[in-house]
Amino acid sequence: MAQFTVHARSGDYPVVVEAGGLSRLGRFVRSLGPRGRAVVVSDANVAALHGPLALRSLRSAGFSVRLVTVPPGERSKSRRQLSALWDHFAASGLERGDAVVALGGGVVGDLAGLAAATYLRGVPLVMVPTSLVAQVDSSIGGKVGINLAAGKNLVGAFAPPRGVLTDPRLLATLPARQLRSGLAEVVKTGMAVDARLFEFVERAALRLRDGDRASLARAVWLAARAKGWVVSHDEHEGGLRSALNFGHTLGHALEAASGYRGLLHGEAVVVGMRAGARLSVAEVGLPERDRARLEAVLDRLELPQRMPPTPLARLLRGMASDKKRRGGVVLWVLTPRVGSASLPRPVDGRRLRAVLLELGARVVR
Ligand SMILES: NC(=O)c1ccc[n+]([C@@H]2O[C@H](COP(=O)([O-])OP(=O)(O)OC[C@H]3O[C@@H](n4cnc5c(N)ncnc54)[C@H](O)[C@@H]3O)[C@@H](O)[C@H]2O)c1
Ligand SMILES: [Zn+2]
């Protein structure tokens, strides 16, 4: 077992990374303070695979337990599912001394996190991330939220959990495509904030791609700790934390352009990182060799080399409505070298179009 602490204004919290740790969930939640009730929020896939062990562990630690599931997928990050959770909490008689346990991927964490942060103005939340994206990214840092028709994550809050229990063994049941998509976020964290993580992924790429248990556990530990370090120093994204948006300006626009049905989030971020690295060579002096290293790692992980044919104009419009713009100007996080990122900055428009066309955008007349 290994653990680190994340600093948050509302209170520090532990992130425990332990193979097989799910069987200790009940004791972990108790150690964080809650007693009495635990409402476990999950999605139907994860609940079927890992719900029974989670519930058993909570019961044997003395909790009275209720399981609530939402349909799997991004569409559950909705006001409809949010208000359904509030009603379930009320029907369970949930109190401030009880706990909400988010057992699932980033969708469950973001949704249950917002529900827990708002019910009774906040009940304790424990994250049990089960996807790779959730283990290395979304469970840490306290951002929770839902989507609107107008865009992703437009309603949300900063609401750090009481604790995070990460069991890398749960990744054994994750579909291969979801695993590779999560590896994209690991590469992102390496490229933008942690050169040693990047080098580890370079060395272990083929084993990671094939789901090797020990390599994955190592990657989860290194990437989660790197994210924990970043958000401990910049919880509310004044500067440093924005590095984690590397690849996301274009990634979010691509996801929106496909109506969240084409590329997975991590896959869209891959195209965004390829664009970001190509722009970085010209704009912030990323050595060509390092751009090639990044793209080679993504290739070895069998992540997309280009986007599906997408109208250029739609991408440009999508980027212009990103949450992270300033006065209407689209900002990019660029990487001057491996393990380091610029603050969000505008990029040359002609160069951007050229890079998007290289990566598969289409000019539609
Ligand atoms: N809050 C943040 O800081 C933050 C950071 C990154 C991403 N996110 C959000 O996270 C979401 C994406 O997360 P995700 O990729 O985990 O998506 P997800 O939660 O939809 O999970 C992906 C799929 O994997 C399944 N799954 C999860 N764990 C499994 C397991 N152990 N075994 C078998 N199947 C499993 C799920 O049922 C789902 O079908 C997006 O909404 C994104 O906005 C939030
Ligand atoms: Zn992401």
Q: What is the pLDDT of residues 228-285, one digit of tens each?
A: 999 999 888 878 999 999 999 999 999 988 877 789 999 999 999 999 999 999 999 9
287 C-alpha to center of ligand 1: Å? 33
Q: What's the pLDDT at 170?
A: 98
No. of helices (H) and no. of strands (E), the chain: 13, 13
Alpha-carbon distance 174 to 298, whole Å?
19
Q: What's the pLDDT at 237?
A: 84
Q: What is the pLDDT of residues 85-97, one digit of tens each?
A: 999 999 999 999 9
Identify the residue whose tokens are 């069987």: 23
Answer whether 143 contacts ligand 1 (Cβ < 6 A).
yes
Most ligand 1 atoms within 8 A of CB, residue of 82, 133, 169 to mutate: 133
The pair of structure tokens assigned to 84 is 């359904």
Q: What's the pLDDT at 213?
A: 96
Answer whether 73 contacts ligand 1 (Cβ < 6 A).
yes
Whether pLDDT at 82 is above 90 = yes
Taking residue 327's Cβ as centre, other Cβ atoms within 10 Å add up to 4
In this prediction the pTM is 0.95
Answer whether 130 contacts ligand 1 (Cβ < 6 A).
yes
Cβ burial of 274 (10 Å; 0-12, 13-18, 19+) is buried
Whether pLDDT at 329 is above 90 = no
CA-based nearest residue to 191, from 245, 252, 250: 245
Pick left, alpha or beta for residue 121 (phi over 0 → left; psi -120 to 50 → alpha; otherwise beta).
Answer: left
Predicted confidence band of residue 136 (pLDDT cuts 50, 70, 90) = very high
Q: What's the pLDDT at 155?
A: 96
Q: What is the mean pLDDT of the chain?
A: 95
Alpha-carbon distance 63 to 53, whole Å?
14
CA-based nearest residue to 250, from 175, 200, 164, 317: 317
Atom of ligand 1 nearest to the CA of 107: 19
SS3 362: strand
- For the ranges 51-60, 254-263, 319-328, which has the lowest average pLDDT? 319-328
SS3 107: helix
Q: Give the pairing of strands 13-17 and 2-6.
A: antiparallel
Q: What's the pLDDT at 324?
A: 67
Atom of ligand 1 nearest to the CA of 77: 41
% pLDDT > 70, the chain: 99
Q: What's the pLDDT at 1?
A: 76
Q: What is the pLDDT of residues 1-27, one digit of tens each?
A: 799 999 999 999 999 999 999 999 999
Predicted confidence band of residue 225 (pLDDT cuts 50, 70, 90) = very high
Most ligand 1 atoms within 8 A of CB, residue of 107, 111, 132, 269 to mutate: 107
CA-based nearest residue to 3, from 187, 195, 164: 164
Mean pLDDT of 43-53: 98
2: DSSP letter? E
CA-based nearest residue to 111, from 85, 150, 133: 85
Mean pLDDT of 73-78: 94
Whether pLDDT at 326 is above 80 = no
Taking residue 107's Cβ as centre, other Cβ atoms within 10 Å add up to 26
- For the ranges 25-29, 147-151, 340-344, which has the lowest average pLDDT? 147-151
Mean pLDDT of 51-58: 98
Predicted confidence band of residue 160 (pLDDT cuts 50, 70, 90) = very high
Whether pLDDT at 323 is above 70 = no
354 C-alpha to center of ligand 1: Å? 32
Predicted confidence band of residue 77 (pLDDT cuts 50, 70, 90) = very high
Predicted confidence band of residue 41 (pLDDT cuts 50, 70, 90) = very high
Mean pLDDT of 77-81: 97
210 C-alpha to center of ligand 2: Å? 21
Alpha-carbon distance 165 to 54, whole Å?
11
Answer whether 138 contacts ligand 1 (Cβ < 6 A).
yes
